[in-house]
Amino acid sequence: MTTKIKAEWDRLKKVAVHTPGMEMFFGLLDPFASLYERAFSQRDALKEHELLQYTLKHDFKIKVLPLKDTIVGTALKKPSMKAKLIELAKKSIQFTGTEGEVELACREMDANSDILDPEHYFNTILLNPSIELEPRMTTRMINLHITQREPLSNLYFMRDQQMVTDKGMLLSRMRKPQRKREPQLTGLLWEMLKEPPIYEIQEPGTFEGGDFMPLDSFALIGVGDRTNLSGAEQMMENGLGFDEVALVHQPSHPLIPPEKRDPMLNMHLDNYFNVVSQGVAVGSKPLLETTRVDIYQSTTDGYQKSPGETNLYEYMASRGFDFINITTLEQMAYASNLLCIRDGTVLAVEVERIVKDVIGKLRLRAKADPGGYGKLFAQVKKDYRYLRQEGQFFPHKKEIYQYDVEAYPLNLSNLTGGYGGAHCMTCPLKRI
């Protein structure tokens, strides 16, 4: 059976998640190199992830599939699946040293396959270790050096390794080297669940799930730093059946000089735009008005580009959407990275718990590069004063109540340090 999703506001019934483990520890050794926004407490991040899962399961009765538990549990029951897990682990481990030591280590790994449990192999894939074996003259005196090569520290952002459309699931091809291997692991999960992808993005295309948003009769695809035009075109050719597709070009933030462009400020579409119901969207108007959109219509010959251009704000308005406008500070604090549970009900980040961390990080950037981040820092300070005075940090805004939206805020102040909120952390598998 192939999973399909038509609209972001359809009732969510099943999601896949990944509870971060030891890979997050290695990511926090150098947050910047690991694509994290800032340092944070791993201990508290795990508590927040437990709360996220509990809320999905118990408050909304959504079936939650944990990536690691599902893969390990299936491998324990099915030898054929354990064999595939082992093969993937073998590709993720590298032995170096003398020819004899490397050969012995490989033989030992093969010989121990019946002894070592599936969790061992899962962790091997997570950490991608390189093991340097340096023998000394004395018996069994071997200098052992283990290096982690790009551990999957972003794996808990389960939105990105795939996307589910109105035709089925497509497997991503990630843009950043730190995340390249993630679809291999989630692909194994889909195989175990008998949900094979209908297509896998091919080189030179890149595509990440945070850049895709299904909206019933039409869909949005973000193109920019993470998803390129080739990936978007492959998506339209092989995985979409919507009447219309809008390619949303990642904007350069209007408060950052073009020559200082920082794509991490709005790396995915869901970092600066989302919907809370059928007909109501969330975003920062000044940013959305600078976001160029190309419109493609479905024809018998595939999707054909329509003449003319528009911006994301005007395009969504033309489709009948009203907006809940958010400040620049709220956008940077993941207000739009909400998860729509059903039409008019969302799981949102408690923005007020994050803004001081966002401001603090931006203060350091503005001090180091006032020409690049000075205007943005001045704006977020102004936004903070305004939001404090009005008492309307997202999602506690009057527009939320005016549009009859039920918002369930969660404190994700540590998890968002990895650069994403509830939307990024969940892969929807079933909506009805």
> How confident is the model over 328-366, as pLDDT tens digits?
999 999 999 999 999 999 999 999 999 999 999 999 999
pLDDT recorded at residue 385: 97
Tokens (6 digits) for 204: 């030179």
pLDDT recorded at residue 135: 64
Percentage helix, strand, coil, to 5, in the chain?
Answer: 40, 25, 35
Residues 377 and 363: their CA atoms lie apart, in Å, by: 6
CA distances from 212 to 105, 113, 172 (A): 43, 39, 11
Residues 142 and 425: their CA atoms lie apart, in Å, by: 41
Q: Over the stretch 386-402, which tens digit does the pLDDT of each residue have?
A: 999 999 999 999 999 99
pLDDT recorded at residue 216: 97
Cβ atoms 82, 35 nearer than 8 A: no
Q: Are strands 199-200 and 63-66 parallel, antiparallel or unpaired?
A: unpaired
Residues 183 and 67: their CA atoms lie apart, in Å, by: 12
Please report where in the chains the tokens 């949102």 appear, as a residue: 348
Q: Per-residue confidence of the chain (432 residues) as pLDDT tens digits?
A: 579 999 999 999 999 999 999 999 999 999 999 999 999 999 999 999 999 999 999 999 999 999 999 999 999 999 999 999 999 999 999 888 888 888 888 888 889 989 999 999 999 999 998 888 876 555 444 555 666 688 999 999 999 999 999 999 999 999 999 999 999 999 999 999 999 999 999 999 999 999 999 999 999 999 999 999 999 999 999 999 999 999 999 999 999 999 999 999 999 999 999 999 999 999 999 999 999 999 999 999 999 999 988 999 999 999 999 999 999 999 999 999 999 999 999 999 999 999 999 999 999 999 999 999 999 999 999 999 999 999 999 999 999 999 999 999 999 999 999 999 999 999 999 999
CA geometry: angle 202, 207, 210, nearest 5 deg: 155
Q: Are strands 12-17 and 63-66 parallel, antiparallel or unpaired?
A: parallel
Domains and CATH numbers, the chain: 12-66+152-431 (3.75.10.10), 71-148 (no CATH)
- Find the farthest-apart pair of alpha carbons in the chain and give their distance in angstroms, rounded: 77
Q: Are strands 302-305 and 292-299 parallel, antiparallel or unpaired?
A: antiparallel
Residues 407 and 129: their CA atoms lie apart, in Å, by: 42
pLDDT recorded at residue 101: 84
Task: Write the DSSP symbol of residue 306.
Answer: P
Please report where in the chains the tokens 């195989």 appear, as a residue: 191
Task: Specify the pTM.
Answer: 0.95
pLDDT recorded at residue 263: 92
Residues 12 and 1: their CA atoms lie apart, in Å, by: 18
pLDDT recorded at residue 354: 96
